[in-house]
Chain A
Amino acid sequence: MSGDHHHPAEVAPIERRVAALEDALVERGVVDRDSIDQFVRMYEHDIGPMNGARVVARAWVDDAYRARLLADGTAAIAELGYGGPEGGHVVVVENTDTVHNVVVCTLCSCYPWPLLGLPPNWYKSPPYRSRVVREPRAVLVEMGCDLPDGVEVRVWDSSAEARYLVLPARPAGSDALAEEQLAELVTRDSMIGVARL
């Protein structure tokens, strides 16, 4: 730089800023790189919507499990081995012929990690967070989720400790399918409540 005036330094590229923070914290022993790698691998391979799908399929084939799931989601998902960060208080809300549920976090991006993994970008984005509480029907139509007439829409804003999972309705014509096959039908979006099966 030359001359009398100072130019503000250019913002460092995001890659270098992340590396700077990581290096500073590793050097101080606050975090270690192996743990970072392990956390990433866990969420890339073991924790994701397939977990929630297993919970949903179990609820579809086992009425007693479904009742436990709706009464105490945290305990019921623990029966299948699920829990951990963002899973300390799980509430399951059930779609029926007359009620459709949809989940959001308007203040940040709270999401039931043990069951769905990490949220997609649209879930964390201002359009979804701002609109789904105010015009849920328009948002659902826009996302390809058409509701039959007479269905009440219930929006759940995850503003405290509870993390919500939608229990979608079992698709028509799936009577012959076994639990594992049923789990394959369950999509992430159906468990957020922006799709029906």
Chain B
Amino acid sequence: MDGIHDLGGIEGFGDIDPEADEPLFHADWERRMWGLALSTFFAGLSNGGQFRHSIERMDAVHYLTSPYYEHWLTGIATGVVESGLVTAGELERRARGAFPLSRESRVVSGSEAPHDAPGRREPCELAVGARVRVARVPTRGHTRCPRYVRGRIGTIVRVDPPSSLPDLEAHGDARRVEPSYCVRFEAREVWGDSAAAAADAVHVDLWATYLEPVEPAERA
């Protein structure tokens, strides 16, 4: 989904504000939340795609105005309510107040994932040095293809071992295991001539499904 979590390249957030001698946790609830989250991962309560998508579906204003570990709280609570393990009512009763959860998924099953749309080709095997364009498929569900590189052309610099495509595992039982690729994009290709130094580059790791080979004739 084109959500607020997909932050690469958005302007308007201002200065970075590092905290000197920052503690690992700023409050005991952060400590509990982090340990609780790791426990739920080991308990197999959600896979990576489900967990990330449960946070991406937070109300956009809530996402931007809440501390980081509140994202984890909201996402994991949403997951256990959606799976039927706990009811929203029980959480509110225990917390003695409202307990905001994330918005409903807009994908009802994995078959609605964009790469399975009619006419979509099978993901291709690519090698280091190959030129690729990032697909511009609409995504209503989870994806790890950042907005800022969609439609852009880059070069594969590393091939990574096959792993589960998050776009599918976030939404149901279907799985597809495929390679992902580290793609180098020249800064000027992504941001335009004036925005970036000619020598600079950004690398994004992208599953095969997100990529289309660029024909030699297109390379000019």
Give CA–CA (A23, B166) in the complex, Å: 30
Number of residues from B at the complex interface, CB < 8 A = 80
Q: Are B73 and A122 closer than 8 Å at their CB atoms?
A: no
From known contacts A21-B76, A107-B144, infer whether A37 and B35 are also in contact, taking CB-CB under 8 Å.
yes
Residue of A nearest to B10 (CB): A130
Residues from chain B with a CB closer than 8 A to the CB of A2 are none
Q: Are A39 and B55 closer than 8 Å at their CB atoms?
A: no
**Interface presence of A120 (CB below 8 A):** yes
Number of A-B residue pairs with CB-CB distance less than 8 Å in the complex they form:
235
Q: Are A16 and B96 closer than 8 Å at their CB atoms?
A: yes
**Interface presence of B61 (CB below 8 A):** no
Residue of A nearest to B39 (CB): A31
Residues from chain A with a CB closer than 8 A to the CB of B43 are 30-31
User: How near does chain A come to B164, taking the closest CB pair, in angstroms?
Assistant: 9
Q: Are A14 and B35 closer than 8 Å at their CB atoms?
A: no
Q: Are B32 and A160 closer than 8 Å at their CB atoms?
A: no
Q: Could you tell me which B residues sit within 8 Å of A by CB distance?
A: 5-11, 13-19, 22, 24-29, 31-36, 38-43, 45, 52, 55, 64, 67-68, 70, 73, 76-77, 80, 85-86, 90-92, 94-100, 144-146, 148, 158, 160-161, 163, 180, 182, 190-191, 195-197, 199-207
Q: What 10 additional pairs, Cβ within 8 angstroms, besides A127-B17, A160-B160, A162-B205?
A: A12-B97, A25-B36, A36-B39, A89-B160, A89-B161, A91-B182, A107-B7, A121-B26, A142-B16, A152-B201
Sampled A-B contacts (22; CB under 8 Å): A9-B92, A16-B95, A16-B96, A18-B33, A20-B94, A24-B94, A25-B39, A32-B39, A35-B39, A39-B35, A39-B38, A40-B34, A85-B41, A122-B16, A127-B15, A129-B8, A135-B196, A137-B200, A142-B15, A155-B203, A159-B144, A162-B158
